[in-house]
C-alpha cells in the first residue's frame, strides 16, 4: 500500500468526482500549486492508485434500457470451472460487472440489455448453453442509486 498524504487524498476525492478539472482548479481544492498537483497525479497513476480515467456513459442513452442483477451458481466450485466462467464474463460485453463471491451464490453479475426480450436471448446464450451452471436468479433493477466507483478515501 502506497503512502498517501492529505493532498493526495484531496486529489483522489476530487478526481473521483470529475477528472476533467484543470490543474489550476485542482490547486484551488488541495491548496498546492498546479505543478504540484500534476506531479502528484502522475505519481498516483504510475503507482496504480489511479487505475484508470474513463467517461461514464448513460446506459439508457445508448439504448440499454434494462439492467439486471444476476446471482449465478456453478455446478461445482472447481478451479477450472470457475476460471472458465471468469473468462466467459470477461468476454461478454453485456456483463458490465462481475464479482466472484462466497455465500449463497458463486457469482454476482450486473447485466445490461436493450429490453427484456434481449435479456431473454442473453440468458439462453450465456446460461442455458453453459453446462457448468447449476442455476441463476435474476433481479430487475428498478433504480440505480449509486453506480459510481467512488471509494471512501480517508486520511
Partner DNA sequence: AGTGAAATTTATCTAAC
Partner DNA sequence: GTTAGATAAATTTCACT
> What is the rounded (10 degree) CA torsion for 118, 119, 125, 127?
-170
Residue 65 CB, shortest distance to a copy of itself, in Å, is: 9
Residues 40 and 15: their CA atoms lie apart, in Å, by 12
Residues 109 and 133: their CA atoms lie apart, in Å, by 14
Residues 78 and 60: their CA atoms lie apart, in Å, by 37
Residue 6 as a binder of DNA (CB under 7 A): the answer is no
Out of 38, 73, 92, 123, which residue is the one contacting DNA (CB under 7 A)?
38
Q: Which of residues 91-120 bind DNA (CB under 7 A)?
A: none
Binding characters for DNA, 10-29, by CB under 7 A (x = yes): ------------xxx-----
What is the DSSP-derived secondary structure letter of residue 131?
T
Contact partner, 7, from a copy of itself, DNA, none, Cβ < 5-8 Å per class? DNA
List contacts with DNA (CB under 7 A).
7, 22-24, 32-36, 38-40, 42
Amino acid at each position: 500500500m502506497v503512502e498517501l498524504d492529505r493532498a493526495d487524498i484531496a486529489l483522489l476525492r476530487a478526481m473521483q468526482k470529475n477528472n476533467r478539472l484543470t490543474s489550476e482548479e485542482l490547486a484551488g481544492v488541495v491548496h498546492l500549486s498546479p505543478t504540484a498537483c500534476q506531479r502528484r497525479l502522475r505519481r498516483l497513476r504510475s503507482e496504480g492508485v489511479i487505475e484508470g480515467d474513463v467517461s461514464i456513459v448513460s446506459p439508457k442513452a445508448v439504448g440499454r434500457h434494462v439492467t439486471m442483477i444476476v446471482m449465478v451458481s456453478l455446478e461445482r466450485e472447481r478451479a477450472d470451472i470457475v476460471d472458465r466462467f471468469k473468462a466467459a464474463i470477461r468476454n461478454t460485453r453485456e456483463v458490465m460487472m462481475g464479482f466472484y463471491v462466497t455465500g449463497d451464490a458463486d457469482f454476482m453479475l450486473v447485466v445490461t440489455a436493450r429490453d427484456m426480450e434481449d435479456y431473454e436471448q442473453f440468458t439462453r446464450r450465456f446460461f442455458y448453453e453453459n453446462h457448468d451452471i447449476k442455476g441463476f436468479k435474476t433481479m430487475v433493477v428498478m433504480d440505480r442509486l449509486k453506480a459510481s466507483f467512488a471509494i471512501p478515501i480517508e486520511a
